[in-house]
A and B are shown apart, each in its own frame.
Chain A
Amino acid sequence: MRLLAACFLFVGAACSPQTTQREPDFPIEASLRVSGSSFLTPETVAQQNDDFENPGYLWVERGADLFEQGETSCEGCHKNGLEGVATHYPAFDTGTQTLVNLEGRINLCRTRHQGLTALPYESDQLLSLTAFVAEQSRGLPISVEVTPQTQSAFESGGAYFMTRRGQLNLACTQCHDDNWGKQLRGDTISQGHSNGFPAYRFEWEDFGSLHRRLHDCDTGVRAEPMELGSQTYIDLEFYLAVRASGLELESPGIRR
């Protein structure tokens, strides 16, 4: 990834597209890759794994209700459920020729197949449906690969990850690749993986999307955050998903 980062800086003159088709290298080698839950107390992990005491299931349950509602319900077309689907998101949508995350896919189904309007990002309904779909992949490994169609998204997501920003002038990589396991004030820095999201955060006392978490990391370094659902965050989410590949999906996760 260091090499790739250099390519971002020198605008790819020496980077031929073929070299990037192989398994990308990341600063944290695959054997050291661990979920954010490894940095939680055993009590919090136990709560996350308890289907009842995990408050994220309030949203999963609401999502299950929404899934069955209306004349052309989601359920009507997805009778066999959506097990494993969340493990390969964000994914390329051929209809719109764009990269979409799970939230975007659900909204596409609403506009394309249900004749409904898209739900606002971070609305309770969209979070609930996303949680319901993601939960069906709980425990399955994330499996997102870079393809020719998603190459540019991967690169811009990676560039965002490597770029210093904000008044503190810090890049994601400096905390989550270079300093994971160390303390940042009262908090332990994890590797910054996406596999717990959407998740319930104690700080929020609420359930939220990965983009809300990214927004918090951006404001944490006093940078101007991107809009939730923006293409910049979707590209970053894609980079994070490739980077987290192999880790089990934990959504609805619980985090500090």
Chain B
Amino acid sequence: MTTIRLSVPETADRGEIIELRAMIQHEMESGFRFGSRGEMIPQDIITKFECFYNGTLVFSSDFHPGVAANPILKFYARANESGSFEFVWTDQNGQSWSDSAQIEVS
């Protein structure tokens, strides 16, 4: 089970720069660690994060093995219209998780 937490303002003025925050529960296993018996722990990481504002990509980021577990991202967008922000994380095997939040722009 994967928990996602989002922080998106519920309302904003048109043209305002808003802060968006997103966190996902994920081990981000780097692939460089060894278990107690010396066996290699296989890599298991999220490789891509994307944020869509009413369907348009407004922010994306590539993750590499150095990213810590349960990554938090904080970034900014300009609030132009009411609608939704969708946040999508995709792992190295193509599995993905997503969640969205609504914003009222006036």
Residues of A participating in the B interface, judged by any CB pair closer than 8 Å: 52-53, 55, 57-59, 61-62, 124, 202, 205-206
Contact = CB atoms under 8 A, between A and B. Distances in A.
B65 to A, nearest CB: 13
B1 A55 contact: no
B23 A61 contact: no
A202 B68 CA distance: 9
B14 interface: no
Given A61-B5, A62-B1, A55 B70 contact: yes
B5 A205 contact: no
Given A52-B5, A52-B7, A58 B25 contact: yes
Nearest to A63: B3
A57 B27 CA distance: 15
A62 B69 contact: no
Given A52-B5, A58-B70, A202-B68, 9 more contacts: A55-B70, A57-B5, A58-B5, A61-B3, A62-B1, A62-B25, A205-B68, A205-B70, A206-B69
Given A52-B21, A53-B21, A58 B3 contact: yes
Nearest to A47: B72
A125 to B, nearest CB: 9
8 smallest A-B Cβ distances: which pairs?
Answer: A205-B69, A58-B25, A55-B70, A58-B3, A52-B7, A62-B3, A61-B3, A52-B21
A202 B70 CA distance: 11
Interface of B: 1, 3, 5, 7, 21, 23, 25, 27-28, 68-70, 72
A52 B23 contact: yes
Contacts of A205: 27-28, 68-70
A51 to B, nearest CB: 9
Given A58-B23, A58-B25, A53 B72 contact: yes
Contacts of A55: 23, 25, 70, 72
Name, among A55, A57, A206, the residue most crowded by chain B CB atoms within 10 Å (CB to CB): A55
30 contacts: A52-B5, A52-B21, A52-B23, A53-B21, A53-B23, A53-B72, A55-B23, A55-B25, A55-B70, A55-B72, A57-B5, A58-B3, A58-B5, A58-B23, A58-B25, A58-B70, A59-B3, A61-B3, A61-B5, A62-B1, A62-B3, A62-B25, A124-B1, A202-B68, A205-B27, A205-B28, A205-B69, A205-B70, A206-B27, A206-B69
Contacts of B72: 53, 55
Nearest to B74: A53
Nearest to A53: B72
A202 B69 CA distance: 9
B25 to A, nearest CB: 5
A43 B69 CA distance: 18
Contacts of B28: 205
Contacts of A59: 3
Contacts of B21: 52-53
